[in-house]
Amino acid sequence: MILLIIAIISIGFFAYQVQKAMRLVLIGSPDSRFDSWIPRIREFIVGWLGQKKVLRDRVAGTMHVLMFWGFLMLASDMFDLATANYFSGELLPGFIVGPWNGMVELGYTMALIGCVSALVRRVVFTPEKLKGKSQLEGNAILLLIFTITTTSFMIESKEEPSALWEPIGHQFNQYGLSDGTVVVAYWIHMLAISAFLFLIPLSKHMHLVMAVPNVFFHDTGPVAKMRPLAMGEDGRAIPLEDLDIDSFGVSSYTQYTWRQLIDGWSCTSCARCQDVCPAYASGKGLNPMQVIHDVRDYANEHAPLLLSGETPEETMMQRITEEAVWACTTCNACVDVCPLYIEHVPKLTDLRRNAMMETMEYPDVLNTAMGNIESASNPYGYGEHERADWAADLDVKIGEPAEYIYFVGCAASFDERNQKVARSTISLLKEAGLDVGILGMQEGCSGDPARRAGNEYLFQMLAETNMMTFQELGVKRIIASCPHCFHTLGKEYADYGGEELEVFHHTEILAKLQEEGSLPRVEKNGQSITFHDPCYLGRIGGIIDEPRDVIGGVDVEAERSGRDSFCCGAGGAQMWMEEDSDKRVSEIRAKELAETGCDTVAVGCPFCSIMVKDGLDAVGSDMDVKDVAEILWEQIVAKDNEIQERVANVN
């Protein structure tokens, strides 16, 4: 009877808190996540059950996995203990009891090893990110797990444990524990489980419940793809001329979708997102983990109002803060590293949309770039007639049909430094014999700066205009040297009629041409090269090997590279915003690149080229910064000059 009363209280409290959280989640806006069942099930098995992302941190991940898998194995024993062994004695077939006992004991053992390791790590070898922060909650949970696991072996010792299936329980049996000791251990065990049920919904361990729907209903679409203002029944964005919506982006809690709101209760406070965030690392007011905490805290604090259908006076922008919202580079590192598939970035870009298009409360410095894009279709403000000036002497098709269209992008069209990249790229493509052309003044900004800044209306206007141009010229294949254009055209234009476009990054094409023998391999001639992976190319675009192939491999990798690369600081429209001199992301990245000791930093993005160079200058490094296309083209030109000199000498 005592056990029944304890169970009713603890399970009842747990159920009440869970249903309250679910009610706070389900008042969110609709979100179509009931598709792609096979990919969802597959990722759920690998991501949740297999703990794929958790294990990216080998140390902490292994500890967590031991406790996670341990609890999965021992969970059924709780029913057995609570029912006086009815589960194992009456429900399980006799031939299964032995293996089941072995699984349960293995589970308790794994959980014990995991929790002890985690406690030692927290108390003795405290990670830097935990220093100065309260560890009471985490340590209390670990001590409860320690109590549950150790008392289980004591209880097991009085149930005639098998030396084969339950070696630890059998060993405890040899100690001859008294009945009174085991009875006390039993009650401590059950009370610890009850306390655990109390603490789960009141702490970060609510992720034990919410992680299941959070992982299963993860975004199965292209990585970092933003959603249109409104979607039609045909699966495409509703054209601007037909658009009829009352609000833009997110201002209130309920404007976030139910899937976005689950994130708040799924966070484990592991701080992995914090560790990889360039804005946080540079001292800005953005901590992606805190953003997720803010969502949950807001809901809990305003629960009576929210559940009664009212809207609190405090907006989500006020809770998360403008400084945090506008500091994000949208590099997606936080989303990529999160073991529970939390989607941090959309929460910030949705707030930007509301600030940009509804409340008009955004950084004034963006007015110049947005105004230039609106009037001249590029953030620099140059006239459209100047877009092809860089190619005046290259004898390239301009505004004519071609097998490949090189989408130059605003930076390579107007920025003098990046015009060299455009010249090198088009020269290489022509050298390889490709039928390639450019759009010239018919090319408009892809819209990436406008979209990441929250000006979704302007982005859609650009997307619709560019798609009309593509359709008129019959454009099917596009090559882009800007990863932001590569991502936007290749992944996001599908919502605006571009689902059949094939979009390649220039490094993909160059690597393929080298493999086919149409272009030569790079000879380094004693020069050492490292490569900086642009966020929208490596982590978001999945293009990691191709740039390295083009330059003949990397001599020394930066501390963070590939999908784990550190942002240059230009993404998320940061290129067009001001940054405090003592909080520059580019300098952090520049130091990492300089530490490689290489002569040259190869890049594959016009914005990275600018930011990395500025960063290297600031830290006093004289490393060269060159696009991969420049490195390859310079070698071809050098060889041609060498051949011409030899011919001249012979003559």
Q: Is 558 exposed, middle or buried (0-12, 13-18, 19+ CB in 10 A)?
A: buried
Q: Are residues 281 and 300 in the same domain?
A: yes
Max CA separation in the chain (angstroms): 108
Q: Are residues 510 and 538 in the same domain?
A: no
Whether 618 and 584 have beta carbons less than 8 Å apart is answered as yes
Q: Are residues 326 and 457 in the same domain?
A: no
Any bridge partners for residue 404, and if so which? 436, 477
Final residue before a domain boundary, out of 216, 231, 263: 216
Q: Are residues 150 and 184 in the same domain?
A: yes
Residue 475: predicted pLDDT: 97
Range of the domain at 612: 529-638
Q: Where are the alpha helices (DSSP H) in 432-502?
A: 448-453, 456-473, 483-487
Final residue before a domain boundary, out of 200, 216, 232: 216
C-alpha torsion angle, residues 551, 557, 560, 563 (rounded to 10): 40
List Cα–Cα distances, 190 to 6, 113, 144, 286, 291, in angstroms.
Answer: 9, 20, 11, 42, 36
Tell whether 147 is covered by a domain. yes
Q: Are residues 370 and 355 in the same domain?
A: no
Final residue before a domain boundary, out of 291, 326, 359: 359
Tell whether 563 is covered by a domain. yes
Q: Are residues 349 and 390 in the same domain?
A: no
List Cα–Cα distances, 386 to 291, 381, 414, in angstroms.
Answer: 43, 11, 8
Tell whether 41 is covered by a domain. yes
Q: Are residues 278 and 336 in the same domain?
A: yes
Q: Are residues 204 and 123 in the same domain?
A: yes
Per residue in 458-500, pLDDT tens?
999 999 999 999 999 999 999 999 999 999 999 999 999 999 9
> How many domains does the chain divide into?
4
- Read off the CATH number of the domain in which 382 is found: 3.40.50
Tell whether 308 is covered by a domain. yes
Q: Are residues 400 and 428 in the same domain?
A: yes
- Read off the CATH number of the domain in which 350 is found: 1.10.1060.10
Give the tokens for residue 526. Answer: 């004693």
Q: Are residues 311 and 354 in the same domain?
A: yes
In which element (H, E) is residue 438 found?
strand 436-438
Distance, in Å, from the CA atom of 316 to the CA atom of 251, rounded to the nearest integer, reads 6
Residue 525: predicted pLDDT: 83
Backbone angles phi, psi at 207, to 5 degrees: -65, -20
The one-letter code for the residue type at 540 is I
- List per-block mean pLDDT (blocks of 10 residues) for the chain, which spans 651 residues: 90 95 97 94 95 92 94 89 84 90 95 95 82 79 94 90 90 88 93 92 91 96 96 93 93 97 95 96 96 97 97 97 97 97 98 97 96 97 96 95 97 96 97 96 97 97 98 97 98 96 98 96 90 98 98 96 97 94 94 97 98 97 97 93 79 65
Tell whether 233 is covered by a domain. no
Q: Are residues 52 and 137 in the same domain?
A: yes
Q: Are residues 406 and 443 in the same domain?
A: yes
Tell whether 559 is covered by a domain. yes
DSSP letters for 560-595: S-GGGPPP-S-TTTGGGS---TTS-HHHHHHHHHHT
SS (H, E, C) 191-226: HHHHHHHHHHHHCHHHHHHHHHHHHHCCCCCCCCCC
Nearest CA among 410, 425, 426, 431 for reference residue 576: 410
The one-letter code for the residue type at 390 is W
Nearest CA among 280, 284, 370 for reference residue 576: 370
Give the tokens for residue 561. Answer: 């590279």
Residue 243: predicted pLDDT: 92
Tell whether 314 is covered by a domain. yes
Tell whether 624 is covered by a domain. yes
Residue 651: predicted pLDDT: 65
